Amino acid sequence: MAHSNQVREFLVTDNGIQLLDVVIGPMGIITGASRLTQRMQEQAQLVAQQHELSRRDRELERKRRVLEATIENLRTEFESLAEGDQILAIPTLVRKVPEPIRKII
């Protein structure tokens, strides 16, 4: 309110007069309906941020489940290859065993 000289707002309660906190906006102190509008916009922004965080959490959880399923598929594939004597497991290396060596093993 560019034309207002109002600096503070107050409430008259059963316990007396209570000064309200000052709300500063881009154009200075905000009072009255502008104060309520500002508070509602801030609350809407907080809700939007919470929804975005929740969406990101769900997306990360979905990606985690996909990765875990991929890892489990790779483990299953590894085990089936190992059962068929098609690979040799070395502590940090997994590779296919050439045919001549497979006969020796």
**Domain count along the chain:** 1
Single-letter code of the amino acid located at 11 = L
63, part of any domain? yes
32, part of any domain? yes
Please, how many CA atoms are within 13 Å of residue 34, restricted to the half-sphere of its CB?
15
Q: Which domain holds residue 98?
A: 10-104
Q: What is the predicted pLDDT for the residue at 59?
A: 96
Q: What is the predicted pLDDT for the residue at 94?
A: 45
5, part of any domain? no
Q: Return all residues near 40 (Cβ < 8 A) that are at least 6 apart.
A: none
The answer on pLDDT for 54 being more than 90 is yes
Q: Return all residues near 30 (Cβ < 8 A) that are at least 6 apart.
A: 1, 23, 24, 38
For the chain, the residue count is 105
pLDDT-derived band of residue 53, with 50, 70 and 90 as boundaries?
Answer: very high
Average confidence (pLDDT) over 2-10: 66
CA distances from 25 to 7, 12, 17, 39, 45 (A): 13, 24, 24, 11, 15
Chain segment 27-52, per-residue pLDDT in tens: 777 777 888 888 899 999 999 999 99
